[in-house]
Amino acid sequence: MTLLRKKMEADMKLAGLRPATQVEYLRVATSFAKFFWRSPSEMGLAEVRTYLLQFVELGRSTSTQGVYLGALRFLYGVTLERPHELDGLRPPRRRQQLPEVLSGSEVQALLGSVTSLRYRALLTTIYGAGLRVGEACQLRVRDILSERGLIFIRDGKGGRDRCVMLSARLVTELRAYWVVVRPPREGYLFLSRDGRAIQPESVRLVLKTAASAVGITKRVTPHCLRHSFATHLLESGTDIRSIQAMLGHQSLETTQRYMHVSAQHIGGIRSPLDLLGTEAGRVLG
């Protein structure tokens, strides 16, 4: 698959796919070829169906299944120039799970338990600005616009730039971090001890350890901090459109999920049971 691999690599670069996506798509294409020990050019829809079915039977998540299908669609549709080969396949229907959200006291305890100045500053940034872990790891010093009270997010999900708020408390945290670490002004903001950008997997591990240390039994991930940021904004009265813009959601429907997990929002709605027999209940007939 060497020649095919080189063509697929070139096609993905021309398509502007992110480096991480390119790596994942190549991994899937290689795995597919090894599964049958044949070149993908000699196979088609039947083999793709068989290959994907194994992941359904193994209970892999729908998002994982979607990545496999996306990789093979690119392989056949672009690299092999057979755009209609997989028309019969549809992405798996995703279960609409409500996001896991921490309370304010849980967030405070969690951040307070992180002893590493580097990781505490990074995790505080994720929660304080609602960033994705990859966005936080890729921040550069020049992206902190302290004089304007903003953080500039470059090339976020979908290739979109955006600005988010820079809280006064986060400025204090970042200044304390900068005094000790002194990241170069033109380089990444959050550096590991070897001078490279901190990697998302390291952040996940630190966060998992911190959650265990403070006794939080929820499944705590960096994205959980982002969910908590959005929910807490909603509960403190921020309008849904502003939250959408800060999170970088293309669709308002995605942002509206947080209305379903906000205790203040749901708890503030009166049940019609409470209106029966009251003056306000006359509108019910």
Question: Distance between CA atoms of 41 and 119, rounded to whole angstroms?
Answer: 46
Question: Distance between CA atoms of 146 and 155, rounded to whole angstroms?
Answer: 20
Question: Distance between CA atoms of 76 and 58, rounded to whole angstroms?
Answer: 24
Question: Distance between CA atoms of 76 and 60, rounded to whole angstroms?
Answer: 23
Give the residue among 77, 66, 88, 76 at the shortest CA–CA distance from 39.
Answer: 76
Output the CA torsion sign for 183, 188, 189, 190: negative
List, in sequence order, the alpha helices (H) in the chain: 2-15, 19-36, 45-57, 62-74, 104-112, 117-129, 133-137, 168-181, 200-213, 222-235, 240-247, 252-255, 263-267
- What three-state secondary structure class fits 34? helix
- Please give the structure tokens belonging to residue 9: 């690599």
Q: Are 132 and 226 in contact (CB under 8 A)?
A: yes
How many beta carbons lie within 10 A of that of residue 244, not counting itself?
19
Q: Which residues are catalytic?
A: 132, 157, 223, 226, 249, 258
Question: Distance between CA atoms of 281 and 140, rounded to whole angstroms?
Answer: 56
